[in-house]
Amino acid sequence: MKYVSLILIVFSLGFTWHLAHLEDPISIKVHRELQVAVTEVIQAAVTQQLPNAKEFHFSRLFTQTINPDTVQTFFGYTFKEAGEGEEQTERNIEGTATLIRDRDDRTKWVLEDIKVDQAAIEFHEGTVIKAGEETAL
């Protein structure tokens, strides 16, 4: 029984060593380039929709290989937006983006979709609302 346990342990160690040293089909350099590209696309899209957006900060950003032709990017970012007067808000957004390898040029990636999982707005100065009065929002 001792020998069977020893053989099982040696086999388990060899198998986990093999799994730990498998080559990722997409290099770390490509993952980093995709992360930078996703941040640039998000910033450009937000500033196009909200020109007063500034001070972008990505608090969470990582990529995961789904298969050799698909990468999923997980992101979380905040930005500040100036409103009327001195009113300022901070928006927190978290989501995922899916990128697929271009069929014609294998060195290029196509942003297939972006999903926002969570969105929150924090007002730095609240709006006073009184009961019984109409407010113009």
Please tell me the chain's helix, strand, coil percentages from 3-state DSSP, rounded to the nearest 5: 30, 40, 30
Determine the topology of domain 26-123 in CATH.
Nuclear Transport Factor 2; Chain: A, (3.10.450)
Give the tens place of pLDDT for each residue, 21-41.
777 778 889 999 999 999 999
Asked if residue 81 lies in contact with residue 53, where contact means CB atoms within 8 angstroms, the answer is yes
Strand ranges inside 34-130, DSSP E: 53-67, 70-82, 88-101, 109-123
Tell me: pLDDT of 14 over 70: yes
- Whole-prediction pTM: 0.72
Tell me: pLDDT of 60 over 60: yes
The DSSP secondary-structure symbol of 24 reads: P
The DSSP secondary-structure symbol of 42 reads: H
Give the burial class of 27: count Cβ atoms within 10 A of its Cβ; 0-12 exposed, 13-18 middle, 19 or more buried: exposed
Give the tens place of pLDDT for each residue, 96-128.
999 999 989 888 999 999 999 998 888 877 667
